[in-house]
Amino acid sequence: EPEVTQTPSHQVTQMGQEVILRCVPISNHLYFYWYRQILGQKVEFLVSFYNNEISEKSEIFDDQFSVERPDGSNFTLKIRSTKLEDSAMYFCATSGSWLKETQYFGPGTRLLVL
């Protein structure tokens, strides 16, 4: 069964450093999402992306965050200057249509900011 993959699985970084989290969507999927889950808390929406632009973003997704699809396959989330409170599990999800299909989640990247 096709699956969403994410790299790296774990990343440790120093506060203030830039990180890039990568996602490879299911091949015919066109809608992409990033979510995060702070340890012990519920999953939260960050951003959705379609046709090379952001469709929707949450209040969490401020100027420190950006997304892009640099090469037509990878979908990336960049955090420009990490803060301690960015420590979380970041999930990529993809779907084949905007509303009619389920979202398929990647295994997540666990980010720890020291």
Residues that bind another protein (CB under 8 A): 31, 33, 35, 37, 42-45, 48, 55-56, 58, 89, 91, 95, 98-99, 101-105, 107-108, 110
Longest dimension (CA), the chain: 40
Residues 6+ apart with CB under 8 A from 108: 6, 9, 37, 89, 90, 91
Nearest to another protein of 51, 71 (CB atom): 51
Nearest to another protein of 19, 104 (CB atom): 104
CB of 2 to another protein, least distance (A): 13
DSSP letter (8 states) at residue 82 = -
